Structure 1
Amino acid sequence: MRVLLTSLPIHSHLTPAVAPLAQALRDRGHEAVIATGPAMGHLDHTVTLPDVPAPSDFGPPPWIPERDGVLKVPLFAHDLVVKAAANILDFARNWKPDVILRETNEYGGQIAAEVLGIPHALLEIAPFAPHEIPDLGEQMDKVRARFDVSATEPSFTAGLTPPSWHPSQHHYRVPIKQETWEKAPEIVATFGTNAGLLMSGSKLPHLVVEALGKVAARSVVAIGRGDWTGPRPSNVRLEPEIPQQQLLGTAKVFVTHAGYSSVREALTAGVPMTCIPLFADQPRNAARVEDLKAGVSVEVKGLTATVLAERIQHVLETRAYYDKAEKFSGEMAALPVFTEIPDHLVSAV
Structure 2
Amino acid sequence: MEAGDDSVTVTSSISQLYPLVAVAKLIHVRVLLTSLPIGSHLLPAMVPLARAFRRRGHEAVIATGPAMAHLEHTVVMPDVPAPSDLGPPPPWLPERDGVLKAPLWSSPLVVASAANVLDFARTWRPDVLVRETSEYGGQIAAEVLGIPHVLVDIAPFAPLEIPLLDELMDKVRARFGVSAADPVLTAGLTPASWHPAQHHFRVPIEREPIEHGPEIVASFGTHTRWLMPDSKLPHIVVEALGRVGAPSVVAIGHGEWTGPRPSNVRLEPEIPQQRLLGTAKVFVTHAGYSGVREALTAGVPMVAVPLFADQPRNADRIEDLGLGVRVDVKGLSATVLAERIRHVLNTKTYHDAAENHAAQMIDLEVFTNIPDHLVSAV
Superposition TM-score tier, normalisation by shorter sequence: over 0.9
Q: Shift of residue 180 of structure 1?
A: 4.2
* Paired position in structure 2 for 1:344: 373
Of 165, 175, 179, which aligns to 1:146?
175
Residue 31 of structure 1 corresponds to which residue in structure 2?
Answer: 59
Cα offset, 1:178, TM superposition: 3.5
Contact 1:178/1:250 (CA < 8 Å) preserved in 2? Answer: no
Matched residue type, 1:9: P
Q: Corresponding residue for 2:305?
A: 276
Please name the residue that 1:311 is paired with. 340
Secondary structure of the structure 2 residue equivalent to 1:88:
helix
* Counterpart position of 1:156: 185
Instruction: Return the alpha-carbon distance in structure 1 between the equivalents of residues 224 and 210 of structure 2.
Output: 25
Match of 1:239 in 2: 268
| Counterpart code for 1:231 | P
Aligned partners of 2:210 and 2:279 also within 8 Å:
no
Are 2:327 and 1:298 aligned? yes
Q: CA deviation at 1:238?
A: 0.7
Q: Which amino acid aligns with 1:16?
A: P
- The question of whether the paired residues in 2 share the 8 Å contact of 1:16 and 1:261 is answered with yes
- Aligned equivalent of 1:255: 284
The aligned residue for residue 87 of structure 1 is 116
Which of 58, 61, 76 pairs up with 1:48?
76
Cα distance in 2 for partners of 1:56, 1:85 equals 21
| SS of residue matched to 1:153 | coil
Map of 2:4 onto structure 1: none
Q: 1:330 aligns with which of 359, 362, 365?
A: 359
Contiguous gaps of at least 5 residues in structure 2 = 1-28
**CA deviations over 1:199-235 (Å, ceiling 9, x no partner):** 1111111110000000031000001111111000000
Aligned residue-pair number: 349
Q: Runs of 4+ in structure 1 displaced over 3 angstroms?
A: 178-182
Contact 2:209 2:277 in 1 (8 A): no
2:6 counterpart residue number? none
In 2, are the aligned partners of 1:178 and 1:247 still within 8 Å (CA)? no
Which of 36, 42, 47 matches 1:19? Answer: 47
SS at match of 1:172: strand
Q: C-alpha displacement at 1:347, in angstroms? A: 0.8
Distance 1:160 1:331 in 2: 12
Structure 1 unpaired stretches of 5+: none
1:5 aligns with 2:33: yes
Task: Give the distance between the partners of 1:212 and 1:330, measured in 2 at CA.
Answer: 29
Query: Residue 241 of structure 1 aligns to a residue in which SS?
Result: coil
SS of 2:249's equivalent in the other structure is strand
Question: How many Å apart are 1:182 and its aligned residue?
Answer: 4.8
What's the secondary structure of 2:202's corresponding residue? coil
Matching of residue 320 in structure 1 with residue 362 in structure 2: no
| Deviations 1:175-209 (CA, angstroms, capped at 9, x unpaired) | 22244445310000000111111111111111100
Deviates more, 1:257-266 or 1:338-347: 338-347
1: CA distance between counterparts of 2:350 and 2:363? 20
CA offsets, 1:281-327, max 9 Å, x none?
A: 00000000000000000000000000000000000000000010011
Sequence identity (%): 74
| Contact map agreement 2:216 2:283 (CA 8 A) in 1 | yes
Q: What does 1:65-104 correspond to in 2, within 5 Å?
A: 65-104=94-133
Q: Specify the alignment match of 1:288 in structure 2.
A: 317
Q: Deviations over 1:50-102 (max 9, x none)?
A: 11011001222111110110000111111110111000000000000000110
8 Å contact kept, 2:210–2:278: no
C-alpha RMSD of matched pairs (Å) = 0.8
* Residue aligning to 1:267: 296
Partners of 2:109 and 2:323 in 1: CA distance: 37
Q: Take 1:42 and 1:196, find their aligned partners in 2: how far apart are those partners?
A: 22
Q: 2:68 and 2:188 mapped to 1: Cα distance?
A: 23
TM-score (norm 2): 0.91
Residues 1:202 and 2:231 are matched in the alignment: yes
Query: For residues 117 and 275 of structure 1, what CA distance do their matches in structure 2 show?
Result: 42
Q: Is the 8 A contact 2:209 2:278 kept in 1?
A: no
Q: Residue deviations 1:87-144, cap 9 Å, x none?
A: 0000000000000110000000000000011101100000000000001000000000
Q: Which among 64, 77, 92 is matched to residue 63 of structure 1?
A: 92
User: 2:96 and 2:238 mapped to 1: Cα distance?
Assistant: 18
Partner of 1:222: 251
